[in-house]
C-alpha cells in the first residue's frame, strides 16, 4: 500500500514538473503570433473574418494592451482549454481537433506497432545470424528505408498497390457510397483502408528500431547469464523469446516513446497523402484555408499531448523496470 | 552494399552532387520553371530525358535544380544550426552556470515538442521564402546537436591535458578554443552531415506539402505533382525525383556514419 502511494506521489511530481514545459509551449505559440508580419488580430481571428469580428478578437485578447497583459490573457485562455474559434469550421478549435483525434490515434498506434514488430524481427534476425550473409543485407535495407522520406515510400506503395494492382484503396477511411450490412463489415472496410497508410508509417520507423534491436540484442546474447541459459541446452526459440528478447526490448520500447514527436511529422504527411481525416490532414486544411487559429491550436494541442504522453510513458518504464533511474 | 560503406565513395558522391548543384545552369537543358501545357506528361524521350510533369515542365531539369536547392537549404541551415549548437554546447558543457543551463532547458523543450509541426506553423506564418525555410530549419535543428556537443565537452574537460592547461593558468576561453574544441571536431563534422541530411528531408517534405519558395525548384514539389501524375500513368514524375532525393539523403547519412567511425574510432 505504501508502495502504491509513493508511486502516485512520484507520478504527481512528474506531472507538476511538466508545467514549465507546457508554459514554454504556450510561450512559443505567443512568440509565433508576435512574429506574424501582419496584424495579430487577423491572425487570431482568421484571414476570412469580418472587420467587426477582428475588432472583437482584438478586444478579447487585449491586443491594444501592453505586451505582458497580452501574454497573460493568451496564457489564461490556453489554460482554460480555449484554443480559439475556427472560422472555416464555424466551431471552437478544440472541438474540431477532438473530432479528428481518434483517426490519428488509430493510424499512429497501428503504424507504430507495425514498425516495432518489423523492427524487432529484423533486428533479432540480423543479430542472431550476425555471421551470415543476411545480417549485412538487413542492415543495408534498414539503412535505405531510414533515408527514404515517408512520402516517397507512400507514393510507391500507392502506385503499386492502389493504382497498378488495385489491392488496396487509394485513400479515405471507408468506401464511399457503400452501405455496410453490419458492424464487422464496417470495421473490415476501415482496416482495409488503414493498411497502406499504417504500413507506410511503420516502414519508416522500422529502420531505427531494427538498428537499436540489433545492438541491444547483441549485448544481451554476449552476457554471462545468456551463456548460462544457453549452456543449459534450452531450445533456440525459448532462448530468444524468454531470455534475450525480454531484456533487449527495453531500450527499443523507450525509443518508441521518445520518437512520439517524430511520429507526428510522419503522421501529418501520411494523412495528407492518403486523405486520412486525422489531425495531420486537418493541419494541411488549416494551412490551405489560412485558418490560423486552428493551425496554432493544433500546434499547442499536439505539443502538450506529446509532452504529457512522453512523461507518462517514461514514468511507466521507471515503475516496470527499476533499473531505469528516475531522472526528475 | 559494402561499396556504400566506404568513406571515400561517400565523399566522391558528395562532391559529384555538389558539382551537379553548382553547374545546374550548364547541365539542365531547359529552364525548370518553364511550363508548356501542350507538352504535359510526356514520357521520357530524347527531348525530355526524364519526361515532363502535368504542367509540361522538364523533370530532368527540375531534378538538377532540385539537387541545387536541396544542397543550398541543407548546407546553409546545417551550418547555422551547428554553429549555434557548438556555441551553446561548449558554453553549457564547460562553464555550466545559469546561462548554460537555461539554454539546455530551452533545448530540452524544443526536443520534446513535435518539430515538424512547429516548422510547418512557423513557415506558414512567416511565408515560405527560401531564407525563411533555411532559418526555420536551422533554428529548430540545433538542440539535439547541442546536447551531443555538451556531453562530449563534459567528458573532455575532465581529461589530464585540460587539467594541465588549467594548472598552467590558461584562461577559460583559451582552453575552450585550443584544448576542447579540436577534440569535438569529429563529432561536429558528423553532426553537421547528419543535420544536412535531415534538413534536405525537411525541405522536400515542406515542398511536398506545398510550402516552398516558387523560385527555387524543390524535389518535394515535383513529388507533389507525382501525387496526381501516377494516376494517369506518369510514373516518371515519381521515380526520378525520388531517386535523386533518396541518394542525397542516403549519401549524407552514411557520410555522417563513416565520419564518426573514421575520425573517432572509440565511438564507432
Sketch out chain B's domains with CATH numbers.
2-28+50-263 (1.10.3720.10)
**Has residue A233 got a pLDDT over 60?**
yes
Helix (H) or strand (E) holding B207, with range, is: helix B181-208
DSSP result, B40-78 = TTPPS-SSSTT-B-TT--BHHHHHHHHHHHHHHHHHHHH
Of B120, B231, B250, the CB nearest to A144: B250
Per-residue model confidence (pLDDT) at position B267:
44
- DSSP code of residue B266: T
Domain boundaries, chain A: 2-79, 93-325
Chain B closest-CA separation from residue A173 CA (Å): 18
Q: Which residues pair with A91 in a beta bridge?
A: A86
Per-residue model confidence (pLDDT) at position B2:
53
* 8 Å CB contact of A28 and B113: yes
CA geometry: angle at B35 spanning B68 and B31, to 5°? 35
A310 pLDDT band, cuts 50/70/90, is: confident
**Has residue A236 got a pLDDT over 50?**
yes
Q: What is the mean pLDDT of residues A20-33?
A: 89
Helix (H) or strand (E) holding B86, with range, is: helix B59-90
Chain B closest-CA separation from residue A232 CA (Å): 34
Q: Which of B74, B103, B114 to mutate to test the interface with A (most CBs of A within 10 A)?
A: B114
Of A163, A295, A296, the CB nearest to B231: A163
CA geometry: angle at A146 spanning A142 and A147, to 5°? 125
Nearest to A141 by CA among A219, A213, A203, A217: A203
**A32 contacts on B by Cβ (under 8 Å):** 121-122, 125
Chain B closest-CA separation from residue A229 CA (Å): 30
* 8 Å CB contact of B208 and A151: yes
Give pTM, 2 decimals. Answer: 0.90
pLDDT in tens, A136-157: 898 888 888 888 999 999 999 9
Per-residue model confidence (pLDDT) at position A326:
47
* 8 Å CB contact of A264 and B117: yes
Which residue from B minimizes the CA distance to A295? B121
* 8 Å CB contact of A155 and B254: no
Of B113, B120, B253, the CB nearest to A306: B113
Of B120, B201, B230, the CB nearest to A158: B230
**Has residue A51 got a pLDDT over 90?**
no
**B210 contacts on A by Cβ (under 8 Å):** 287-288
* 8 Å CB contact of B117 and A152: no
**A159 contacts on B by Cβ (under 8 Å):** 230, 235, 238
User: Per the CATH hierarchy, to which homologous superfamily does domain A93-325 belong?
Assistant: MetI-like (1.10.3720.10)
CA–CA gap between residue A210 and residue A139 (Å, rounded) = 8
Cβ neighbours of A235 (radius 10 Å): 9
Per-residue model confidence (pLDDT) at position A323:
65
CA–CA gap between residue A130 and residue A220 (Å, rounded) = 14
* 8 Å CB contact of A268 and B120: yes
Of A159, A265, A302, the CB nearest to B230: A159
Chain B closest-CA separation from residue A80 CA (Å): 21
Q: What tens-digit pLDDT sequence spans chain B (268 residues)?
A: 455 557 888 888 999 999 999 998 899 888 888 888 788 888 898 888 898 988 889 999 999 999 999 999 999 999 999 999 999 999 888 887 788 888 888 888 888 888 999 999 999 999 899 999 999 999 999 998 999 999 888 888 888 888 888 888 888 888 888 888 888 888 899 999 999 999 999 999 999 999 999 899 999 999 999 998 998 888 999 999 999 999 999 999 989 888 877 776 554 3
* 8 Å CB contact of B205 and A25: no
Share of chain A above pLDDT 90, in %: 28
Of A36, A151, A306, the CB nearest to B114: A306
| CB pairs < 8 Å spanning A and B | 127
**A284 contacts on B by Cβ (under 8 Å):** 209
Chain B closest-CA separation from residue A210 CA (Å): 16
A308-to-A60, A205, A261, A302 alpha-carbon distances in Å: 29, 22, 11, 10
Q: What is the 3-state secondary structure (H, E, C) of chain A?
A: CHHHHHHHHHHHHHHHCCHHHHHHHHHHHHHHHHHCCCCHHHHHHCCCCCHHHHHHHHHHCCCCCCHHHHHHHHHHHHHCCCCCEECCCCEEHHHHHHHHHHHHHHHHHHHHHHHHHHHHHHHHHHHHCCCCCHHHHHHHHHHHHHCCCHHHHHHHHHHHHHHHCCCCCCCCCCCCCCCCCCHHHHHHHHHHHHHHHHHHHHHHHHHHHHHHHHHHHHHHHCCHHHHHHHHCCCCHHHHHHHHHHHHHHHHHHHHHHHCHHHHHHHHHHHHHHHCCCCHHHHHHHHHHCCCHHHHHHHHHHHHHHHHHHHHHHHHHHHHHCCCCCCCC
**B246 contacts on A by Cβ (under 8 Å):** 144, 147-149, 152
A110-114, A208-212, B75-79, range with the lowest pLDDT: A208-212
Q: Which residues pair with B58 in a beta bridge?
A: B52
Show which residues on chain B lie within 8 Å of chain A, measured between beta carbons: 1-2, 4, 105-106, 108-109, 111-118, 120-122, 124-127, 197, 201, 204-205, 208-211, 220, 223, 226-227, 230-231, 235, 238, 242, 245-246, 249-250, 253-254
Cβ-proximal residues to B71 (8 Å cutoff; 6+ apart), any chain: B17, B18, B21, B200, B248
* 8 Å CB contact of A152 and B245: yes
Is the interface score ipTM higher than 0.90? no
- DSSP code of residue B34: -
CA–CA gap between residue B234 and residue B52 (Å, rounded) = 9
**Whether the Cβ atoms of residue B208 and residue B224 lie closer than 8 Å to each other:** yes
**B238 contacts on A by Cβ (under 8 Å):** 155-156, 159
Q: Sort strands A91-92 and A85-86 into parallel, antiparallel or unpaired.
A: antiparallel
A65 pLDDT band, cuts 50/70/90, is: confident
* 8 Å CB contact of B2 and A159: no
Of B118, B126, B246, the CB nearest to A147: B246
Which residue from A minimizes the CA distance to B203? A149
Of B2, B108, B114, the CB nearest to A261: B114
- Using DSSP, state whether B29 is helix, strand or coil: coil
Per-residue model confidence (pLDDT) at position B239:
95
pLDDT in tens, A249-280: 878 877 777 777 788 889 999 999 999 999 99
**B208 contacts on A by Cβ (under 8 Å):** 149, 151, 269
Per-residue model confidence (pLDDT) at position B264:
65
Amino acid at each position: 500500500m505504501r508502495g502504491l502511494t509513493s508511486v502516485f506521489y512520484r507520478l504527481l511530481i512528474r506531472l507538476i514538473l511538466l508545467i514549465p514545459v507546457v508554459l514554454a509551449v504556450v510561450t512559443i505559440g505567443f512568440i509565433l503570433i508576435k512574429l506574424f508580419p501582419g496584424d495579430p488580430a487577423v491572425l487570431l481571428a482568421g484571414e476570412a473574418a469580418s472587420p467587426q469580428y477582428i475588432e472583437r478578437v482584438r478586444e478579447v485578447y487585449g491586443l491594444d494592451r501592453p505586451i505582458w497583459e497580452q501574454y497573460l490573457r493568451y496564457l489564461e485562455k490556453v489554460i482554460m482549454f480555449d484554443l480559439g474559434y475556427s472560422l472555416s469550421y464555424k466551431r471552437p478549435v478544440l472541438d474540431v481537433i477532438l473530432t479528428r483525434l481518434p483517426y490519428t490515434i488509430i493510424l499512429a498506434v497501428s503504424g507504430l506497432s507495425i514498425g516495432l514488430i518489423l523492427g524487432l524481427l529484423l533486428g533479432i534476425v540480423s543479430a542472431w545470424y550476425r555471421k551470415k550473409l543476411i545480417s549485412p543485407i538487413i542492415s543495408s535495407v534498414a539503412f535505405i528505408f531510414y533515408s527514404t522520406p515517408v512520402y516517397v515510400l507512400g507514393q510507391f506503395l500507392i502506385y503499386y498497390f492502389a493504382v497498378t494492382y488495385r489491392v488496396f484503396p487509394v485513400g479515405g477511411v471507408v468506401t464511399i457510397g457503400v452501405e455496410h450490412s453490419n458492424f464487422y463489415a464496417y470495421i473490415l472496410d476501415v482496416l482495409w483502408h488503414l493498411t497502406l497508410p499504417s504500413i507506410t508509417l511503420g516502414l519508416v520507423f522500422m529502420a531505427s528500431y531494427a538498428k537499436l534491436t540489433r545492438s541491444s540484442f547483441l549485448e544481451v546474447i554476449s552476457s554471462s547469464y545468456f551463456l548460462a541459459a544457453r549452456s543449459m541446452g534450452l531450445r533456440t526459440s525459448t532462448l530468444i523469446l524468454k531470455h534475450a528478447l525480454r531484456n533487449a526490448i527495453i531500450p527499443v520500447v523507450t525509443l518508441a516513446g521518445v520518437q512520439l514527436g517524430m511520429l507526428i511529422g510522419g503522421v501529418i504527411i501520411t494523412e495528407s497523402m492518403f486523405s486520412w481525416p486525422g489531425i495531420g490532414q486537418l493541419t494541411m486544411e488549416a494551412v490551405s484555408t489560412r485558418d490560423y487559429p486552428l493551425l496554432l491550436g493544433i500546434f499547442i494541442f499536439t505539443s502538450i499531448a506529446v509532452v504529457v504522453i512522453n512523461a507518462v510513458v517514461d514514468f511507466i518504464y521507471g515503475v516496470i523496470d527499476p533499473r531505469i533511474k528516475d531522472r526528475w | 552494399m559494402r561499396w556504400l560503406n566506404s568513406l571515400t565513395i561517400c565523399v566522391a558522391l558528395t562532391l559529384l552532387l555538389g558539382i551537379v548543384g553548382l553547374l545546374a545552369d550548364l547541365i539542365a537543358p531547359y529552364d525548370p520553371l518553364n511550363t508548356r501545357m501542350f507538352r504535359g506528361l510526356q514520357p521520357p524521350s530524347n527531348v525530355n530525358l526524364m519526361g515532363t510533369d502535368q504542367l509540361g515542365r522538364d523533370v530532368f531539369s527540375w531534378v538538377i535544380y532540385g539537387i541545387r536547392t536541396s544542397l543550398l537549404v541543407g548546407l546553409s541551415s546545417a551550418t547555422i544550426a551547428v554553429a549555434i549548437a557548438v556555441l551553446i554546447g561548449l558554453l553549457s558543457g564547460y562553464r555550466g552556470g545559469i546561462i548554460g543551463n537555461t539554454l539546455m532547458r530551452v533545448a530540452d523543450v524544443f526536443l520534446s515538442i513535435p518539430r515538424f509541426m512547429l516548422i510547418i506553423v512557423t513557415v506558414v506564418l512567416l511565408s515560405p521564402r527560401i531564407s525563411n525555410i533555411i532559418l526555420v530549419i536551422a533554428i529548430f535543428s540545433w538542440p539535439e546537436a547541442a546536447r551531443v556537443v555538451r556531453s562530449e565537452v563534459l567528458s573532455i574537460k575532465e581529461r589530464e591535458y585540460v587539467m594541465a592547461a588549467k594548472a598552467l593558468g590558461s584562461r577559460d576561453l583559451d582552453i575552450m578554443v585550443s584544448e576542447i574544441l579540436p577534440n569535438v571536431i569529429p563529432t561536429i563534422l558528423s553532426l553537421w552531415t547528419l543535420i544536412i541530411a535531415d534538413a534536405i528531408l525537411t525541405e522536400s517534405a515542406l515542398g511536398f506539402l506545398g510550402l516552398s519558395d516558387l523560385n527555387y525548384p524543390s524535389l518535394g514539389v515535383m513529388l507533389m505533382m507525382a501525387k496526381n501524375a501516377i494516376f494517369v500513368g506518369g510514373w516518371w514524375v515519381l521515380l526520378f525525383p525520388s531517386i535523386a532525393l533518396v541518394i542525397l539523403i542516403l549519401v549524407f547519412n552514411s557520410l555522417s556514419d563513416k565520419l564518426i567511425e573514421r575520425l573517432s574510432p572509440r565511438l564507432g
